[in-house]
């Protein structure tokens, strides 16, 4: 795995840990933050895969756009589309007044991030992550 891909993976794992921490917090949980970090985890895994494949991608938080760039190699990832569409809203909208995530939103967001992580992480850990 090259250095940039390793950085994407490291940052994705940091976001995953932050999402889990906020979801599990007993005192003053920040469900908006849990949802944001779940979205960021998925985004960084998708961008890490695209980087490993040397597929150019734009600066976007739209996870379905990133999935579209991956789908030709792994059509089974299409099963993630609904969850990724949900996560995309947490990139920006829930970071400002007017929208707030619930504990159920956070649980669902972390569940989707976990599914993305489970599908993509093994590919990034392979010596040859070109498939």
Put simply, whether the predicted model's pTM sits higher than 0.85 gets the answer yes
Number of domains in the chain: 1
Segment 92-107, tens digit of pLDDT = 887 788 889 999 999 9
- The answer as to whether 130 is a domain residue is no
For all residues of the chain together, what is the average pLDDT? 91
- The answer as to whether 69 is a domain residue is yes
**Integer Cα distance of 122 and 124 in angstroms:** 5
Nearest to 23 by CA among 114, 109, 116, 118: 109
Segment 51-74, tens digit of pLDDT = 999 999 989 999 999 999 988 898
- The answer as to whether 131 is a domain residue is no
Percent of the chain with pLDDT over 70: 95
Domain interval for residue 69: 3-125
Structure-derived torsion over alpha carbons of residues 78, 123, 49, 68, reported in degrees to the nearest 10 = -10
Residue 126: the pLDDT is 64
- The answer as to whether 67 is a domain residue is yes
Nearest to 101 by CA among 90, 110, 91, 92: 90
Q: Sorting pLDDT into bands at 50, 70 and 90, what band is 49?
A: very high
Nearest to 112 by CA among 87, 77, 75: 87
Q: Residue 106 burial (CB < 10 Å; 0-12/13-18/19+)?
A: buried
What is the domain-level CATH number for residue 93? 1.20.120.330
């Amino acid at each position: 795995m090259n250095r940039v891909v390793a950085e994407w993976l490291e940052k994705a794992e940091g976001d995953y840990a932050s999402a889990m921490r906020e979801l599990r917090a007993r005192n003053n949980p920040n469900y908006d933050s849990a949802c944001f970090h779940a979205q960021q985890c998925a985004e960084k895994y998708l961008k890490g895969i695209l980087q490993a494949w040397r597929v150019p991608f734009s600066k976007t938080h739209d996870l379905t756009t990133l999935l579209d760039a991956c789908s030709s190699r792994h059509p089974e990832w299409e099963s993630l589309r609904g969850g990724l569409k949900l996560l995309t809203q947490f990139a920006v909208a829930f970071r400002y007044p007017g929208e707030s995530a619930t504990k159920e939103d956070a649980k669902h967001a972390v569940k989707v991030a976990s599914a993305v992580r489970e599908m993509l992480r093994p590919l990034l850990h392979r010596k040859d992550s070109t498939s």
